[in-house]
Structure 1
């Protein structure tokens, strides 16, 4: 019975992740006049938290830029904006001990938006965002349930979601109307201490 329940839980998890990714196949509602110009991610030896797998600068650059392109590249407004991201810190969780030590994966980024027409920054200081993986089981850390590559991909995917959410909530900066979105516990504006990420976060709000 225990194995059956575990299998059912895993099926639900996979299904939820699939639904979250399906939204990329649909044309999004505009964010003002936003049309993505340059998509630049920089990872200059970001801080690696405790009990983390190693990730190279090149891997972070490729994963985050790819996720942003997949998400923000769908918009077809008439004003170019550039998106610059700096990877500041991460934990790509190693396998832990369920119920005792289940490290969770986390990524801290800084985001800057630049308006192409004026070549001016919309924010003088990078906007810090912390993201967790979009799909995690409530008991097992992702180090036990996902491969290293899947963890990196999940963090990059949620980083792009976090950027899009910020843009919708501050759509006036892009010529649109700001939106009020439901809280998502896998996305936090600001930075968290990488030293304390040893518990699995709640499931995300879709």
Structure 2
């Protein structure tokens, strides 16, 4: 299978769906999504769909990755926090667009697989740790951008606290089945505004400040 051609088709579809940030489109073109899925699913890697990655988790569909990344408005100088490393694909996209990425995954086998995939691409500006992502990573903050890749019942205050002045936080908020992509912006004076954008569906954000269990 010609993965480069498949990536070009994927990016063309992202443009049709309204993604306009050329840096985001370039990142989606450059990162080989097929190395972040199981080998048996490599042929489906560039379809606009989520795919299972084990441990009851999924890799988000390309449009969702592009949309959430675009909402962060990265310029290349930012420190970014990602919560829910999963396969590592979203972290890889962020790593091509920001100065440093800190990513947290609570499921050890996924974290180890993601680390191997990221290392294979020599993305040395990604720090990964295993832990409760709902608590963020305060030791590495504050962050210019925070991206949460699982659905939360609310926006955890601790994440807002770790957002730098002028920072942007993108998080799916809703119930256990359906959420709305929510953009939180902190201005230079520390005032916070929230904007709901579009409906989405993510796996649950499990942890102290998210959902309490897998039920």
Q: TM-score range by the shorter chain?
A: under 0.3
The structure whose residues are more often strand, as a share, is 2
Higher relative contact order (CA 8 A, sep 6+): 1
TM-score, normalised to structure 2, is 0.26
Instruction: Indicate the structure (1 or 2) with the bigger Cα radius of gyration.
Output: 1
